Structure 1
Amino acid sequence: MILQFISIHHDQQRSIKKLKRLIIQISLIVIAINMTACSSLSGSFANRSTQLSSGLQNAYSVSPNTANRLSPMIVQNAERYDISPTLLAALIRQESNYNSSARSPTGAIGLTQIVSTHWRQSCPGNLYDENTNINCGAYILSTYYKSAGSWSKAVAYYNVGPSGYERSFWTRHKGKKYARSVKRHEKILKKAL
C-alpha cells in the first residue's frame, strides 16, 4: 500500500514536470509568433516614417525623395486599417515597384494598382494621387483580411479576388504564389530596417 502511494506520487510529480515544460514551450512559441507578427517599426509616427523610408531605400532601392514622401502615407494608412506598414510597403513593391503613375494593361492604377471599375464606390477620388491610392489599397487589403481571416489569404485575394480564389485551383495557386512573393518582399524590408 505504501509502495503504491509512493509510485502514484512519483508519477504525479513527473506529470507536473512535463506539464511545466509544455507550458514553457507553448509560452515561448506564443512570444515568438507575437514578435514575428509585429512590425519592425517603433517609436513616434515621425520615427516610424523615417525608419520605413530608410528601409525602402535600402531594401527596394527607392529614391530618397520618393521614400521620404511615401513613408508617412504608408505608416498612416496602415495604422488606420490595422495593417503592418511593412506588409503594405511590400504590397506596393509587388504591385508597382513604387511607380505612382503605373497603369497595368487591365487598367489597374497607381502604387497599389487599384482597378477603379471594381472599387469606384469604396475608393472615390483620383487614384493617381499617392495618398488616395495607398489609402484605397490599405482599405481593400483590410476588407479582404476581415473576410479571409489570414493575411496570407487576404494578400492572395488582393491579387485574384475572393471569387477567383475560391472558384479555381489555378487561380488560387496564382494568388498563393503572389502572396509568397509579397511575403518575400516584406522579409527583405524587415531585414533592411
Structure 2
Amino acid sequence: MSSGKNTVLGFMFLFFAVLAILYFQTTSAEEIVYEENFEDNSGIEGDFLRCEDGTLYLDTKNSAQTGGGVWNKNVSLSPGKISWRWDGQDTDNFSLWLKVTFNDHKSIYYVAAGSRNPQSEGEFYRDRENRRRFSPSIVISGIPMSQVERDLVSDYTRYCGPAENVRIVKVSAGLGDSSTEHMNILRISDLKIYSQS
C-alpha cells in the first residue's frame, strides 16, 4: 500500500516539476521587439546596395568595380540582445559593419572580422546649454562572419557607462567594396532585437 502511495507521490512530483520547467521557460523567453526583414530598398544610401529575399546585400557584379552604401532605420527601443547573420564571398579590402545609435548620442559599431573600420569617429551635437559636444563611437572589431548575438546592455555598460534610461534610436549597416581585384559580395540578414530579460 505504501509503495502505491510513493508511486502516486512520485508521479505528482514529476508532473509539477515538468509544469514548473515549462512555466519558467515561457516566462524567461526573450521576446523579439524588432525584426528587420530587408524587404524594400528604403533607407539605403549609395550604390550597389540592395534588399532582396530578406537580405541586405552588396554585389558590384564586377571585381574591377568598387562602391558601397549604408542602410539606416530609425527606431525607438529599449536595449536588450541583438542578433544578426552576415557573411561574405571573395573578400578583400571591404567594409562590413552594424551600428547601434542611442538617444544620448553614443553609438556602438560591430565590425566584421577582416573588415576595415568605419570612417565615422562619432557625433557632434548640442547639449542643453547649446554647447557643442562630441560623443566618440565605440568600435568592436573582429566579429566573426556567421550568426552573431550580442548583449547591447552589457556592451553599453562596458564601453559607455550605466545603461539607465537609454534607448536605441537608430540601427545602421554599412557594406563597402574598395578592392579592384575581389568581388566582395557581402550580406546581412536575420536582424533582431530582443526585450531585456
TM-score interval, smaller chain: 0.3 to 0.5
TM-score scaled by length of structure 1: 0.37
TM-score by length of 2: 0.37
Q: Which has the higher helix share?
A: 1
Structure with the bigger percentage of strand:
2
